[in-house]
Amino acid sequence: MRGGEHAPSTDSVRGLDEVAAQLRAFGATDEEIEDALTRGEPQRAVLEIIARHSAAGRTVTPVEVHAAGGPPVERLAELMQAFGLTPPEPDEPSFTPEETRALVGLWRSSDVWPFELALQISRVYGRLLARIAHATVQLWASAVEPGLRQRGAEHGALLAGAESLDRLVPVSDLLLQAVHRRWLEREAREMARQQVPLAPSVAGTLAAVEVSFLFCDLKDFTAFADRHGDAAAVQLIDRFAAVVTREQGAEARLSKLLGDGFMCSYPNPRLAVEAGARIIDAMDAPDLPGVHASVHHGLAIPREGDYFGASVNLTARLLAFADREELVATRSVLKHCAELRWERAGILRIRGVSRDVEVFRLTR
């Protein structure tokens, strides 16, 4: 023992043993437990373990789902993309037997309920369930996690906290429950990786967090709708929604439809810029309105599955300065992806923003 160090007390050792026992009961390996206790962050370990533990019962591959009478592999991939989830590989164990039966039932009913309509509904449910999961984990962190932090290694505290998160699946339909659970797992993993404190700075509210925002919408959509009619406009919106769902990337935290546009949030600016560029390219068609996009990175306040604050407002206002098939960004974005090619677009005065904003344009 080095000088100045003290042997841990009997109570301290017993407390650590109890923490390790609770983590092990939830499926943690000895290496994970040692890492959690070394870092002094057993609560974060619980979040990470829950995400992995919940996926353990998924033993059926997409190929096996199809063999049981469910959708073909490519159609199943479309469905998962519509929900906003990353499609599994054909031979990747990804579904529980109960989920498989639900998918078989969905495919068998496609003569009455066309699969294309199921995809449209799935996109709506995917966006809403992602938002619900985002809000649920945020509220869990603000209400339960501080109590765990105070109780520390108290017997049963970690397991009770883990079980409280594990029960946050109020959707009754089996398939929607499966999607909701995946979003909860993703949010739990992201919360576990965050470097900001989980506990709120003000009781009942969440502290501001760093986040990157992508706004994109259809340039000259109103004129297109006026020329071609509402039916064509709705079809274009459906196509745009499908493109955003497919190209936004698995890292998108929040995807919110705003009329003829979308707001997406990401953990860093590079992901937001790359997603914006993919969406612009995928919607490029000479006879249709193109997409323009804006990206900004800053602080925002998460609330009820959404974000509020000056960073959101700035990104939304910035969009007006992007032409068709253009992506513009602020200097805070360039700091994180300077290796991309940018050109300075000038200094702008944006309504509602007190300071001048330096704007840059992504060059192709």
Contact 179, 129 (CB under 8 A): yes
Which residue among 153, 175, 196 closes a domain?
196
Contacts of 194 (CB under 8 A, 6+ apart): 209
Query: pLDDT, tens digit, for every residue of 139-159?
Result: 776 766 666 566 554 545 555
Bridge partners (DSSP) of residue 303 are 306
Residue 201 falls inside a structural domain: no
DSSP for 264-331, please give it. EEESSHHHHHHHHHHHHHHT--TTS--EEEEEEEEEEEEETTEEESHHHHHHHHHGGG--TT-EEEEH
Query: How high is the pLDDT of residue 23?
Result: 66
Residue 202: inside a domain, yes or no?
no
pLDDT score, position 2: 40
**CA–CA gap between residue 210 and residue 186 (Å, rounded):** 18
> In the structure encoding, which two tokens stand for residue 230, read together?
């509402």
Q: Looking at the structure, do residues 129 and 189 belong to the same domain, yes or no?
A: yes
Asked whether residue 61 falls in the same domain as residue 173, the answer is: yes
Q: Are residues 31 and 145 in the same domain?
A: yes
CB atoms within 10 A of CB 204: 8
End-of-domain residue from the set 168, 196, 224:
196
Q: Are residues 176 and 224 in the same domain?
A: no
Same domain? 101 vs 171: yes
Q: How many helices (H) and strands (E) does the chain have?
A: 15, 8
Predicted confidence (pLDDT) per residue in 94-137, tens digit: 999 999 999 999 999 998 989 988 998 898 888 888 888 887 77
> Within this chain, do residues 327 and 349 fall inside the same structural domain, yes or no?
yes
Phi-psi region of 220 (alpha: psi -120 to 50; beta: other; left: phi over 0): left
CA–CA dist 124, 319 (Å, integer): 24
Does 101 map to a domain?
Answer: yes
Listed as ranges, residues in the chain with pLDDT below 70 are 1-23, 25-28, 37, 39-51, 53, 141, 143-173, 191, 193-206, 304
Q: Is residue 342, in this structure, part of any structural domain at all?
A: yes
Residues 47 and 23 in one domain: yes
**42 and 190 assigned to the same domain:** yes
In-domain check, residue 4: no
| 217 within domain boundaries | yes
- Given a contact cutoff of 8 angstroms between Cβ atoms, the answer to whether 88 and 78 are in contact is no
Residues 186 and 237 in one domain: no
Residue 303 has phi, psi (to 5 degrees) of -155, 125
Q: Are 244 and 256 in contact (CB under 8 A)?
A: no
Helix axis angle, 42-54 relative to 174-193, nearest 10°? 150
Can you give the pLDDT at residue 212? 96
Boundary of a domain, candidates 148, 170, 196: 196
Q: Are strands 291-303 and 327-330 parallel, antiparallel or unpaired?
A: parallel
Domain hosting 264: range is 209-362
Is residue 63 in some structural domain? yes
Report d(CA 191, CA 103) in Å as an integer.
Answer: 30
Residue-level pLDDT at 32: 72
Q: C-alpha angle with apex 175: 172 to 176, nearest 5 degrees?
A: 60
pLDDT for the residue numbered 124:
81
Q: Are residues 35 and 87 in the same domain?
A: yes
185 and 232 share a domain?
Answer: no
The answer to whether the pTM exceeds 0.85 is no
Cα 54 from chain centroid (whole Å):
17
Domain count for the chain: 2
Within a domain: 55: yes
What pLDDT shows up at residue 169? 53
Do 130 and 254 sit in the same domain of this protein? no
